[in-house]
């Protein structure tokens, strides 16, 4: 049974408190928070102050995905804002091993995200240091995109790497996750499903989360 992490990027920001309550009361496991700087990705989202405000009302794990350049400058601030899991992009981290160590030293779980064009073998030397591998199944920056099918192969390859090395890393998939493809994603080896539009554009978001929770059965 996968962990479900609704993506706040797709929430209604005029009614954010309501949407947070919905997630609190649903079968969702995590809040997925996308932080974008307009440089690493062609979009800007929200930062520490919004996350800190949300944390006052939210009751579940904060899964913070940094789509920013020089993420290492802000680790302590995101910890202070309430991040429980902090994910950096391989493509934005010149000293990835050092970043993973720094995130863990602050008491957070450390994740690494791969863009669609980045092969999974780049993680071979750090896979045992990673708590979460985030496979982007769309090009990062915007919600509502279509799932890139090659992501399933990447999930399988990361799973093989995790098993071979004894890593404890979870595999998370973000982008274009729907009720139609959730089974295939979980069966490929994913442990965490990020869903934005699928949840928040549904007539009954909590029921949609419940259905996603059954994926792979």
What burial class does residue 48 get, using C-beta atoms within 10 Å of its C-beta: 0-12 exposed, 13-18 middle, 19+ buried?
middle
Task: Check if 37 is active-site.
Answer: no
Number of residues assigned to the chain: 217
Q: What are φ and ψ of residue 73, in 5° steps?
A: -70, -20
**Do residues 113 and 88 touch, judged by C-beta distance below 8 A?**
yes
Angle formed at CA 78 by CA 76 and CA 83, multiple of 5 degrees: 120
Q: Which residues pair with 33 in a beta bridge?
A: 64
- Two tokens at 172? 């998370």
Query: Tokens in use for 200?
Result: 């928040």
Q: Residue 161's CB: how many other CB atoms inside 10 A?
A: 19
CB distance 172 to 61 below 8 Å: no
Query: Which H or E element spans position 109?
Result: strand 109-114
* Active-site choice (29, 34, 63, 131): 34
**Contact present, 130 and 96 (Cβ < 8 Å):** no
Q: Which of 29, 37, 63, 174 is catalytic?
A: 174
- Annotated catalytic residue 29: no
Between CA 68 and CA 205, with CA 137 as vertex, the angle to 5 degrees is 95
Active site residues: 34, 174
């Amino acid at each position: 049974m996968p962990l479900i992490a609704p993506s706040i990027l797709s929430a209604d920001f005029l009614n954010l408190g309501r949407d947070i309550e919905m997630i609190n009361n649903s079968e969702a496991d995590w809040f997925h928070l996308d932080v974008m700087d307009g440089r690493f990705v062609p979009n800007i989202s929200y930062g520490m102050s919004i996350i800190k405000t949300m944390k006052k009302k939210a009751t579940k794990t904060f899964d913070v995905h940094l789509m920013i350049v020089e993420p290492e400058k802000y680790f302590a601030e995101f910890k202070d804002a309430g991040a429980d899991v902090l994910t950096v992009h391989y493509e934005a981290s010149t000293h990835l091993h050092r970043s993973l160590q720094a995130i863990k030293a602050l008491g957070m779980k450390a994740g690494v995200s791969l863009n669609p064009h980045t092969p999974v073998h780049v993680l071979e030397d750090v896979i045992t240091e990673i708590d979460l591998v985030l496979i982007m199944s769309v090009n990062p920056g915007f919600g509502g995109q279509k799932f890139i099918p090659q992501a399933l192969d990447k999930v399988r390859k990361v799973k093989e790497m995790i098993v071979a090395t004894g890593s404890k890393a979870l595999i998370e998939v973000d982008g274009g996750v729907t009720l139609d493809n959730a089974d295939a994603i979980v069966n490929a080896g994913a442990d965490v499903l990020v869903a934005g539009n699928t949840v928040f554009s549904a007539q009954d978001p909590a029921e949609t989360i419940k259905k996603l929770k059954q994926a792979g059965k």
